[in-house]
Amino acid sequence: MQIHVVGQGDTLFSIANTYDTTAAAITDANELEAPDDLVIGQAIVIPIIGQFYFVQPGDSLYSIGLRFGIPYQELARINNIPIESILPIGLRLYIPPLQKRPITSYAYIEPFGDTVSETLENAAIKNTPYLTFLALFSYRVNRDGTLTTPPIGNLRQIAADTDTAMAMVVTNLEEGAFSDELGNIILNVQAVQNTLLDNIVNNATAGGFRDVHFDFEFLLPEDREPYNAFLRRAKERLSQEGILVSTALAPKTDPEQVGQWYEAHDYAAHGEIVDFVVLMTYEWGYSFGPPLAVSPINEVRRVIEYAVTVIPTEKILMGQNLYGYDWTLPFVVGGPAARAVSPQQAIAIARENNVPIQYNTLAQAPFFTYTDAEGLEHEVWFEDARSIQAKFDLIREFELLGIAYWKLGLAFPQNWLLMNDQFEITKLE
């Protein structure tokens, strides 16, 4: 598909004419809320097969072919132009679509309270066709090894209707936060661990889960080896039931990276023990931190570059956020949290405040600033078609197993459009 960035004077009609499609098709594909009021800098996905490229200064058939991975002779043939021709600036060239690559697609879903909201169930209905796994977050471990279970509502049936496997996410969350003390008990008190593994196996088999996903975070550094030993025990037990085991890993760039989020996560050991891992390559920009891109491509790349040196690429899922944040300025440590917004909401905020969307090329992420009705300055970072395409390019470049989304519930239609265009989603037998 084509990604078009709205410029001064663009209308949906003029954009549709440029790409030989219709305004209605673009509106439907992007779920545009205000098709007659586009935002300068807004990225729009054009629903066509392949894409068009407009020749820039210094381009040649050879350089364009290298950029898109197509022989220059083939590029000339498709566009019916001589191989030796000098390309005029602005010439529109057709680029055929890439061959689809199979990937595993994983998405967390987090019900709150005692029921699964209609919003979450609708998100699952809409998105499970593009998922290998729907991961129910979370089964919280208690200090005696029992589990507090989340509501599941109709999620199991929704997943079954699209041949999507259910994953059971097990966490050391306690009173709303990851607990190192609880983690230490789980990993070192044998009686608690025995009870926990029995409960996990029983819940996973009774619930028809195909994967048990351990998201143990902020563990004590000294619990690195006990965590590895626990995973070996869990893998042995669950493999006997034909159930996969996966883990969530903090975004490390070095095996000895300091900080409590990182030290107990042994990339090499997890890569050897479990079936696959999720790299939590997001939250550089987070709700209680300063305004930043949530998953800047330069930082994501650094994590992947380290991970592939110690974990087989076919076991790695790159983590990806489906949201952004709206910070009120000035940022103050310990001040109010930034507001989570969907990509659709971010565009609406820019439109309502009549401000253009900018794009940071280092982070490969869109952002903008605005002043609210009370005179307070805001800074918003979010995801769009360009930023997610940059992540999809990383999956291809490093030949990763696929992608894992945190989390369903906030609308980002362009993500699923581009995913469906470029990848074949693996479904388990």
The residues annotated as belonging to the active site are 217
| Distance, CA of 357 to CA of 331 (rounded, Å) | 21
Cα 389 vs. chain centroid, distance in angstroms? 11
Q: Which residues of 378-391 are buried (b: 16+ CB within 10 A; e: fewer)?
A: bbbbbbbbbbbbbb
304, 398 in Cβ contact below 8 A? yes
The residues, ordered by sequence, that sit 6+ positions from 90 with a Cβ below 8 Å of its Cβ are: 54, 55
CB 371: neighbour CB atoms within 10 A? 12
E strand or H helix at 224: helix 224-239
Cα 292 vs. chain centroid, distance in angstroms? 17
| Distance, CA of 172 to CA of 153 (rounded, Å) | 23
203, 268 in Cβ contact below 8 A? no
Q: Rounded to 10 degrees, what is the CA torsion of 292, 293, 294, 296?
A: -130
What are the residues facing 132 on neighbouring strands?
Answer: none
| Distance, CA of 402 to CA of 132 (rounded, Å) | 10
E strand or H helix at 215: strand 211-215
The SS3 call for residue 41 is: coil
Phi, psi of 420 (to 5 degrees): -65, -30
Closest CA to 214 of 160, 163, 204: 204
Strand pairing category for 43-46 and 2-5: antiparallel
